Chains A and B, each alone.
Chain A
Amino acid sequence: MLGVKAGDIDKMGLLFERHHKQLFGFVYHMTGKVAYSEDLVQTVFYRMLKYRHTFKGDGEFKTWMYHLSRNLIKDTFRKSNRIDYLDDLSLHTSEMKSENMDDEMERKEESERLHKAVSKLRNDSKEVLVLSKFQEMSYREIADVLKISEANVKVKVHRAMTELKKVYLIKER
């Protein structure tokens, strides 16, 4: 990113290639919308390009990328108050293939139920769970992205799991 800041604009293409899939996954897990995720990823990278002079270089590029994404998602939430989370779920679950149709159906239903449970979590719980589980970030990295302490991350992950158990396991019984 420092190269981009110094004027080597083409390096932004390399950064996009390296990180866009991961960021797409984050936005998708947070919103459940494919087209929105696609747009937001493009917007984040365009904004990083445009405001490259504000990149201080004392933090990680990835942390900055997640900061911008979180702000844009919050901006959308603020404007529309809510996002109809599971709009696009059928898009990818319908592509699952298995030799045993019954098993597949059962797994698919299970996965959809869990997906729905995750989508119903409070935004901060969902965010910490997505970063930790789906983005495979360490507590240190999550702390940097959320600008909180590692101890706080620990508490938030635990709360998110307790909330998920309540929403998912209790409904299942």
Chain B
Amino acid sequence: MKEESDNQNTELEEKFIRLIQNELNEDEKSELISLINSSPKIKAEFTATRELWSSLDTIKSPEAPAQMMSDFQSVLDNYKEEIKSSPFYSVRSGWARLKELLSYNPSLKWAYVLILLGTGSLLGYFWGNAGSPSLATNQEVKRLGDEVQEMKQMMMMSMLENPLATERIKAVSYTQELSEVDDQIIEALLTTLNHDENVNVRLVTLETLVALADHPKVREGLVQSLLKQESPLVQVALADVMIELQEKRSVKQMEQLLKKEGLNSLVKEKLEESIINLI
């Protein structure tokens, strides 16, 4: 009997909330309003629910900071630059455009062959004369280049300390502008990959490190990172990288990770697949 009454109360309470939220159809609405008006007790209960619901309006959230829009715009600009400057993008799009052009006009194919021959001859000529410019000028240019490189490195390292994730992403992307990446930068990137609190920063760092995977220290760092990651997204991305690099040393790490308690089921599946792929 009591259970039946409890169920009725629950159903009534549910309807109160749906009435307040305008989620009842016309029939349900008029039926409920008549019921509320028929009993002072029900009316009091409905009023209490409605008042609590309205009082939630007093909780205000702060305005989204105004600079968010410009911050995102710079992330967007960086991303566009990144896509355009990616060698894969430019080679692919350039080659596609060239193929398209040559297929429109077969006579252009001969022009293309002649351009290639001409470029080859010019390169050969300059190659043969290399070494003649003055030594002093070469040294000066090299010194300036080194200074610029050093400044870029310093800027990147300090940006990695920024509390805003978007700034740290910019710092990581900045690595692509460095002509040489030394041990200090690799160390900083690996620390970011393993310890940055933001998953997105870690993912961007991972992408950057993959581009530097020729360096043995980077490869080793990537393999070791598998056991340092908590986020399923990063774990899956790392497993993909291990396959891409065909890094067989990672099998041991993956097997160890599989033993971890509470491992995400998708990650588990991914790791099992990756191990099969690598062995």
Residues in A lying within 8 Å of B, measured CB to CB: 9-10, 12-13, 16-17, 20-21, 24-25, 28-29, 34-35, 37-39, 41-43, 45-47, 49-50, 72, 75, 78-79, 88, 91-93, 107, 110-111, 114-115, 118, 129, 132-134, 138-139, 154-155, 157-158, 161-162, 164-165, 168-169
Contacts and interface: CB of A to CB of B under 8 A. Distances in A.
Interface of B: 10, 13-14, 17-18, 21, 23, 48-49, 52-53, 55-56, 58-65, 68-69, 71-73, 75-76, 79-80, 83, 163-166, 169, 198-200, 230-233
B161 to A, nearest CB: 15
B176 to A, nearest CB: 16
Given A12-B76, A43-B199, A157-B17, 4 more contacts: A37-B64, A38-B64, A45-B72, A134-B59
A65 B186 CA distance: 33
A158 B49 CA distance: 10
A17 B56 CA distance: 27
Contacts of A139: 21, 23
B80 to A, nearest CB: 6
Contacts of B48: 165, 169
A99 B106 CA distance: 82
30 contacts: A9-B76, A9-B79, A21-B63, A24-B61, A24-B68, A25-B64, A28-B61, A34-B62, A34-B65, A39-B164, A41-B64, A43-B165, A46-B75, A46-B79, A46-B200, A47-B200, A75-B233, A78-B230, A91-B62, A92-B60, A92-B62, A111-B59, A134-B61, A139-B21, A139-B23, A154-B18, A158-B10, A161-B13, A164-B52, A165-B49
A42 B199 CA distance: 12
Nearest to B71: A42
B166 A49 contact: no
Given A115-B59, A134-B61, A43 B72 contact: no
Contacts of A91: 62
B14 A133 contact: no
Contact of B17 (A10, A21, A158): A158
B119 to A, nearest CB: 31
Nearest to A119: B59
Contact of B56 (A46, A49, A114, A162): A114
A70 to B, nearest CB: 14
Given A39-B198, A42-B68, A158 B14 contact: yes
A104 to B, nearest CB: 12
